[in-house]
Amino acid sequence: MTRINERVQIHKGYNSIGGMYIYEEFISGTVIKVNKKSIRVRMTHVKCTTNGKLTKEYDIDETATFEFWKTVETAGKTVSIFKNNKYGIIKVAY
């Protein structure tokens, strides 16, 4: 399970018809609270890319709750996915 003070990366992207991401945001943050069905994250840094190239980078100081969405099996690992409609998703592998 996710632990307090664990670093996480939040991903949000918009893709084209072909399935490749045109615009993506990568937000770095730290887990500050863990509940059974959610995690609370303090976000500190954002990187924005367009067609894979860095277009903008800046610091933020925001906190948000990410609700548990689902668990999936990927390449032999169990991954829990948490989402927040404004900021995106967090994937936590076990």
pTM for the model stands at 0.87
pLDDT of residue 1: 65
- Which residue numbers in the chain have pLDDT < 70? 1, 17, 19
Instruction: Catalogue the long-range contacts made by 43-50 (C-beta closer than 8 Å, 24 or more residues apart).
Output: 43/10, 43/87, 48/23, 48/24, 49/21, 49/23, 49/24, 50/22, 50/23
Q: For residues 61 and 72, what is the distance between their CA atoms, to the nearest angstrom?
A: 30
pLDDT of residue 2: 72
pLDDT of residue 55: 95
Q: For residues 58 and 80, what is the distance between their CA atoms, to the nearest angstrom?
A: 28
